[in-house]
Structure 1
């Protein structure tokens, strides 16, 4: 079975006390980046600013003072557009003493950022990409939309023991379907759990397992997600969401060396299309013996791992209803859709009592640990990862970490309570999608939001630093403490106290030059020290060293905070 990473939560993290755009309208590029008239960024300690360098030839100045000062600079792409391969492009950042880069300067080369090679997408990532692409394509045709039912419960909920025929994805592109006959084994007011009649007999699911899944969904998952995002549809009018436990899900990944699909939701079930069940259905794996390429999946493993999967996929179901069926819009962009589903996992970890998560130190460990690991993976190399993921990506673990961190920060900044569910409802109950959706909710340009968020991922709870504004903080998490409490011992989750190490810029390294790649919604952190009594430091951003101005499509920004 795919690795299931968890944290012990040695210290519980306290909850907080009780007009936009898709990346900005950018000016046309200048002939060349130059530092003849740099924009001065004058900040007091703790203050921050998000600056567009395009208006000053790509150059900004951090002024000097009588005492040494230090700045954290996040070079980010505020591009919010989703393209097939993602909005990305080269950058070269130069730094030198104030005034020394004006006019013509001798050519120099830049040290290239060391960025890890993109890893091969896992089978679950490829499959979920296919599902989201399929939903977007099918939802774009109004003729595929099923007529609305009159009201919930028009048709009686299924009776325990009744059988039903289901169509289930047969391949990773969900273009072929298998027929599965299943029996309703546990039925409650909001959910019906069906079990495939033809499943492996080894360590098979028992009645108490199916009852546990139904009870957990009814008691916790349903109220948590409908409160945070809105209602699901009821296209078949029977008032219940179906959980189908079937080895047809297991069959999607006969070789588990590159990941294992645990379960899924497909919006095609709510449309008039081939393979549709015309009902709200989650599909989930069943226990299975070991094979040459897959480890055994026991009863307990399946039940434990399906629970976070169910609440994650339930957000997708609600999102499809709210965006497509209720408002007639398109399905949410993959990056934001997945970010919100990972947020639902966090809510479950916060709101479900620990007594419901036997075998784990807490429900945070069962539901939320994956988000923390994904966040670490992203923060280890932010330059290598998109926030606004390419259209061809379902979101790598690093991209999912970025998405969850961003939505969690949005909820902290614009929430009206400690959970921030007014933010998530606003993001789901709309026909807008992606960066425009975020900008509208926050009444702030996406470029500004991305810059401030990038600063927050590093300076929140930074020792010795007090921000002048909470906009560069998290109010619901103390990530530095989480990482530190789970690091640096044999068998610990993390190898060091914090994943991000900014690139250091000091006068001893002048002239400084660094090249790399900007990716939509993400960037690279730099620590800039301005010497005592100096005139300051100029930062010059270009497409390449001694080259043209940076591509305006990247919507490049300097997000800068003065640390001291």
Structure 2
């Protein structure tokens, strides 16, 4: 490619006396510093720099006598104070027999990995095949002791393999401390990385850095709690030091650094953090905190909280074989009219939380549950019998229900059947009314005799309530709404029954499993059949630091959070999706999850929080299968699309030092994203109260 011109460097020699040690902060040139390279610790060698190529197609084009700078950069991983040693000399080229020649001699060359560079001022090398001009030529070599080392030089920017390799190595050692982290032999390793690249790609220099980091970047510290995600490196996984300091090397324009501040305690905590260049002495700017858009629970959501809490007030249930007399009770038949009691409005006060009303309803459809001898009876409020499309809706809902019934029992376990609390609860009832207070609910009191102490009312049936929407968007939408609500509420019934001996239980895991019930029955965000869950997930992602996984508030954010957790938990730890052992554990929720997964709850929580960040749509620990938290989802039928943008983060540009605080609720997390690297080291400092754990990740 280049003709072998007579610009020759002869480096023969002895080390300590004339070499320089140089560091390269951004925008700063070489600075001569006496190196610390004792003669007895280094094997010496000789080096010759050679311009490679044909003798016909390249030439030196001077403007007067060109000045030539010869540079050899030695990489000494064992020298913590001066890991990059710079040998440099300038000379003017002399015209000898129509050819410019230049020579330079240095004293002291250890046998170390070396980067070579020749810069021509007042002239350039021209490649006559494509007329490209080069004022700098580069090369590299792992120097070998006891032989005459020769380093071939190539045009800087030519994008041939040697040029790409030098560019990569220069970027890696831009922060000199990085030298100690590089795999050896250094140059041979760089060459192996470059060998796998497409050199014709316009992004080949960046591709080289990505390829190197993918294969050789440190993945995790020795004390990592578990393995970090693929393609990420970490220095803290996690750290909980009260005064933490990290130095993130090789922070470049392709890098994103994340700080995930997790609160694994029962108290609200406020960690502090700051980021700066390793050499920065700037006063830190205060980061603008992310705006938390936490909402208050609606009246309907408060009602559901109250319903779940009633479970703890109900007496311990009794399960027995059905007496023969009870077995003779007549099942409902089509067109039967029966009185039902239900909660129909949202008046709320301490004395009477919700007002119950009794009204008549008619059995409008009965479906047999194949192979069980059981029936499901659909009753409609007598005031709603004239609703249009009701027959079509019931056909769709009843067909969906048979699939839901089988799926929920497979995934979550059985609901009450036979004799439960002295009631025969084989047949299933679904009550529909426009007056039902909320989209749907299950009340455990219906499974007790009405005179039982602690029971507000009882229809003495296995029953789910559904609100017929006042405004129907379409037949399909109404059917899907009913079906997804049935899946959700039926899980609550199963959860109630499977935990009959648990004297006290929290709401959040029950709601997580009911969210998963919607998903596992096909009412998903990703398939466009669950806009309401998409909106709840959107609300959660907008305020992750103030939304606690384990402290149930009943808000949209809470529903969105536990929906994601339920789906993620089942995908990663369920058996073919089944979570029956979890539902039947009859333990406090954290202990139940630990038993189900075989891992401490704090570890499960941390993995889940990181899954929200990494968002791997291949599924597994760090994401959701075929579902992205950074996408827009369309729901058709004139319903608004919903955009998800991942967990809201505090965004930090590396252009200046920045500090901030992050208020974090119990079992919640705050996310910080740092960009704008300049191939220098990033310093992260944090003040972490007891209970806060920092997970740091770097992605290139």
Give 1:524's match in structure 2, choosing from 670, 693, 699: 670
Give a deviation string over 1:526-558, Cα, whole Å, max 9, x none. 22469677565233124xxxxxxx2x3xx3211
> What are the residue-to-residue correspondences of 1:125-164 with 2, within 5 Å?
125-136=301-312, 138-139=313-314, 141-142=315-316, 145-150=317-322, 154=327, 155-164=329-338
SS at match of 2:468: coil
Distance 1:183 1:149, change over 3 A: farther
Match of 1:184 in 2: 363
Give a deviation string over 1:121-147, Cα, whole Å, max 9, x none. 2222121112112222x23x43xx355
> What are the residue-to-residue correspondences of 1:471-550 with 2, within 5 Å?
471-474=621-624, 476-479=625-628, 483-484=631-632, 493-494=641-642, 498-500=645-647, 502-505=649-652, 507-510=654-657, 512-528=658-674, 536-542=682-688, 550=689
Contact 2:363 2:380 in 1 (8 A): no
Q: TM-score, structure 1 length as denominator?
A: 0.69
Instruction: Give me the CA root mean square deviation.
Output: 3.9
In structure 1, C-alpha distance between the alignment counterparts of 2:581 and 2:406, rounded to whole Å = 17
Distance 1:40 1:263, change over 3 A: closer
* Cα displacement (A) at 1:313: 0.6
Give 1:242's match in structure 2, choosing from 429, 434, 438: 429
> What are the residue-to-residue correspondences of 1:65-464 with 2, within 5 Å?
65=250, 70-79=256-265, 87-96=267-276, 110-111=286-287, 113-136=289-312, 138-139=313-314, 141-142=315-316, 145-150=317-322, 154=327, 155-172=329-346, 175-189=354-368, 190-196=374-380, 198-200=382-384, 203-204=387-388, 206-218=390-402, 220-234=403-417, 235=420, 236-249=423-436, 252=437, 261-271=438-448, 272=452, 273-286=455-468, 288=470, 302-324=478-500, 328-330=501-503, 332-349=505-522, 364-366=527-529, 368-390=530-552, 393-394=553-554, 396-417=555-576, 420-421=577-578, 424-461=579-616
Match of 1:21 in 2: none
SS at match of 1:276: coil
Higher helix share: 1
SS at match of 2:465: strand
Contact 1:202 1:287 in 2 (8 A): no
Distance 1:296 1:210, change over 3 A: closer
* Cα displacement (A) at 1:239: 1.8
Residue 59 (1) aligns with residue 244 (2): yes
SS at match of 2:294: coil
* Cα displacement (A) at 1:52: 5.0
Higher strand share: 2
Task: State how many pairs are aligned.
Answer: 453
Contact 1:46 1:561 in 2 (8 A): yes
Where relative contact order (Cα < 8 A, 6+ residues apart) is larger, the structure is 1
Contact 2:278 2:683 in 1 (8 A): yes
SS at match of 1:479: coil
In structure 1, C-alpha distance between the alignment counterparts of 2:334 and 2:485, rounded to whole Å = 24
Contact 1:245 1:286 in 2 (8 A): yes
Distance 1:57 1:303, change over 3 A: closer
Gaps in structure 1 of 5+ consecutive residues: 1-37, 82-86, 253-260, 289-294, 352-361, 543-549
In structure 2, C-alpha distance between the alignment counterparts of 1:459 and 1:74, rounded to whole Å = 11
In structure 2, C-alpha distance between the alignment counterparts of 1:296 and 1:505, rounded to whole Å = 46
Distance 1:558 1:156, change over 3 A: farther
* Cα displacement (A) at 1:204: 4.9
Contact 1:185 1:194 in 2 (8 A): yes
* Cα displacement (A) at 1:228: 0.8
* Cα displacement (A) at 1:229: 0.3
SS at match of 2:514: helix
* Cα displacement (A) at 1:428: 0.9
